[in-house]
Amino acid sequence: MTLDALDKKLLLLLQQDTKSTTKELSLKLNLSVTAVYERIKKLERGGIIAKYVALLDPVKIDKNFTVFCHLKLTQHTREFITKFESQVVKLDAVLECYHVSGDYDYILKIAVKDMDAYREFLLSKLTTLGHIGSTHSTFMISAVKNTTVHNLQ
């Protein structure tokens, strides 16, 4: 699917505020409401817009202790990888999990209340998953940049 300049502008506006009405978007894009609606539907059908979400303030929901956990598996067989991945996606505290190259096999982004909650999560949930060889935790001090917006220009 090829994106034209109006599609890109529309996607930027939607990434900044998905609750914008088609009327508001039409005024910003100098298009009719119907044209904006049709473009959005085309972007959804094409899979460019994957889903709509509400971004929560971690402080207000008591999940403002962010940990990046680097993890090594004991073996790299398809069976171990598949089993680990099917288990880790079920852990609510894990916001993101990436299979990576380098010294570790996975990087997990974990959000919990505090250090005690992370220790409990590590001992009772994460390390109980099979085939974990080692973990290395890094704690976020502050977020310098945290965005969900992809620049399409």
Whole-angstrom distance, CA of residue 118 vs CA of residue 127: 12
All residues at 6 or more sequence positions from 11 whose CB lies less than 8 Å from its CB, including other chains = 3, 43, 48, 49, 150, 152
Q: Pick the residue with more confidence: 76 or 138?
A: 138
Which amino acid would we find at residue 69? Answer: C
For residue range 60-111, list pLDDT tens digits in order: 999 999 999 999 999 989 999 999 999 999 999 999 999 999 999 999 999 9
Under 8 Å between Cβ of 142 and 71: no
Is the pTM higher than 0.85? yes
